[in-house]
Amino acid sequence: MSDQLACHKHGRSDLGYQHWRWQPHDCNLKRWNVTEMWEKLRGKRLMFVGDSLNRGQWISMVCLLQSVIPADKRSMSPNAPLTIFRAEEYNATIEFLWAPLLVDSNSDDPVNHRLDERIMRPDSVLKHSSKWEHADILVFNSYLWWRQGPVKLLWSADENGACEELDGLGAMELAMGAWADWVASKVDPQKKRVFFATMSPTHLWSREWEPGSNGNCYGEKMPIDWEGYWGSGSDMPTMRMVEKVLGRLGSKVSVLNITQLSEYRKDGHPSIYRKFWETLSPEQLSNPKSYSDCIHWCLPGVPDVWNELLFHLL
């Protein structure tokens, strides 16, 4: 469990956020069954590829599955670009690969990636695909890192070339194109399942669900009860671009559409109940408006719902 997501451990006393499940209209999701999920994974590699939100979903999956594996029959590799949970008796792994932009970039170090400028190779996934290509089930995500200003482009053939600059959406479309080319040329849907998770919403401005208020997700204990709610943290042009790219891939990729169901969950974020590198100081704790994390998700919580959806689709 990551200290960044262990909200109860870091002082969150209300636990309602742990117990919601998703009920679609007109159908029922398959109920989570841990042994059935392990049987689906027997002899296979399940790999999550993306940013810290996808890492949260990976942690959720490990937590949902590890309880039935005896302690001496499971292991976790150290935290590196590729982190691996192994279950011996199923000959299976649940893995996470840090690749926040999907393509090769200067943000590919899982620890030292807070850089002044982002530089990516818009035509190359080689560094990452060499690690993900042998997985049997792949769950990709990419969104939040494209929302942080312009990105510099360095084309592969041009080692020291001048970097042109592109806005986040344009750069993401290039990266998604390179990723889609890999899927189109390398994925046989009979042998490999590929999922792409849509954007994970943020809840940074309480005025969006409670007009006139001036807070964020801090102190929120209930989901938004407003069907079709859509906040500013989910960018509709990005959603349309992703839909267009995935549409070209047909049956080679399945969409894990988490955005609308997660939009309601203003109650699910860590806010100040977390530790990121170091524990928040008393001054920071007393200023939740400035120091709340309204991007990531507490565990147990919302990412468990995403994994129930993944289980259903598998």
Q: Are 29 and 22 in contact (CB under 8 A)?
A: yes
How far is 115 from 107, CA to CA, in rounded Å?
Answer: 7
Q: Among the options 104, 108, 267, 293, which is catalytic?
A: 293
Q: Among the options 51, 271, 296, 304, which is catalytic?
A: 296
Q: Is 77 a catalytic residue?
A: no
How far is 167 from 296, CA to CA, in rounded Å?
Answer: 24
Residue (of 233, 211, 298, 268) closest to 7 by Cα position: 298
> Which amino acid would we find at residue 94?
I
How far is 258 from 107, CA to CA, in rounded Å?
Answer: 25
CA 262 centroid distance within chain: 12
Q: Is 251 a catalytic residue?
A: no
| Torsion sign (Cα): 99, 200, 96, 268 | positive
Residue 306 has a CB neighbour count (10 Å cut-off) of 26
Q: Is 52 a catalytic residue?
A: yes
Q: Among the options 51, 52, 124, 269, which is catalytic?
A: 52
Any bridge partners for residue 195, and if so which?
A: 139, 254
Residue (of 126, 134, 135) closest to 108 by Cα position: 126
Residue 4 has a CB neighbour count (10 Å cut-off) of 21
Q: Are 224 and 263 in contact (CB under 8 A)?
A: yes
User: Hey, is 217 helix, strand or coil?
Assistant: coil
Cis peptide before 300 (omega within 30 of 0): yes
Q: Which residues are catalytic?
A: 52, 293, 296
